[in-house]
Amino acid sequence: MVTFDPSQPAILHDRFTDKIETWTGEDAADYRENAIVDADGSVEWRGFVFDGWGSVLGG
């Protein structure tokens, strides 16, 4: 999650629910301010535990 850019659209894997979440980028400021990076590189934010992501634009 270190290279994840919250201002860009993406798909994120939520470890807590084992589901894919669609990310539009509109919560980028809140994510940058409130996300907590865990020792394993996952990110806790608003009840999610994101542990992987992919670009929706194929990049």
**pTM higher than 0.85 for the full model?**
yes
Q: What is the pLDDT of residue 55?
A: 85
For residues 28-43, average pLDDT: 97
The two tokens of residue 47 are 């009840």
Q: Is 8 exposed, middle or buried (0-12, 13-18, 19+ CB in 10 A)?
A: middle
CA dihedral 1, 46, 49, 54 (to 10 degrees): -40
| pLDDT over 70 (residue 59) | no
Give the mean pLDDT of the chain. Answer: 94
Q: What is the mean pLDDT of residues 38-54?
A: 97
